[in-house]
Amino acid sequence: MNVKMVELSDESLVEVAKKGNVDAFTELARRYQEKVYYTIFGFTKNHTDADDLAQETFMFAYKALKGFKQKSSFYTWIYRIAVNLALNHLKKMKREKGREELRENLSLLEDSCASSFSPERHPLKRELQDRLEKAIDSLPLPYKSAISLVALQGMTHGQAAQVLGCSENTVSWRMHKARKMLQAQLKPYFKEVKNEL
């Protein structure tokens, strides 16, 4: 059978890969390699650790593929493996590291003060981004995980819940609580900026 792997759906590739076809799993890995890497990098903020853990994610997935029941999508399943490995790595290191530069489209808190910023005030925007990144890094791990998956990776609360192994309501609550903690940490900064304007 000469079917191009790139034309198959994830579900079909999983079925073929479960029968021992390495090319099918390689195509799945190719599809999610970058996303898995950046998800892990968001937790470790270390390229070497992210590379190692991404490889470990796919090795683990390959070995565990026959047991994958496909109750969730491959995407969700592989993310769950990646997040669990990253969290275990952080626990083992006994410290949390930061994450890569926040993406431009992150508007978690910028919306609340967007009217204060004009194009001429790029340094203020950069400073806000730095402070926001530090504030996120200081969050307890469950809240940091939720923010990372929902705000940075663009997952829905339902997808994040599957990855984190909790309910959608728990993710929503963690997001709400994380926003409150971030607002509390950044409130003094917003006052400073307002006084300077």
- Sorted by where each starts, the structural domains of the chain and their CATH numbers stand as 8-100 (1.10.1740.10), 102-197 (1.10.10.10)
* Amino acid type, 139: L
* Mean of pLDDT values over 162-166: 87
pLDDT at position 97 over 80: no
Beta carbons within 10 angstroms of residue 195's beta carbon: 7
Residue 28: per-residue pLDDT = 93
Residue-wise pLDDT tens digits, 36-49: 999 898 888 889 99
Q: Binning pLDDT at 50, 70 and 90, where does residue 103 land? A: very low
pLDDT at position 61 over 70: yes
* Mean of pLDDT values over 54-66: 93
72: left (phi over 0), alpha (psi -120 to 50) or beta: beta
Asked whether the beta carbons of 147 and 98 are under 8 A apart, the reply is no
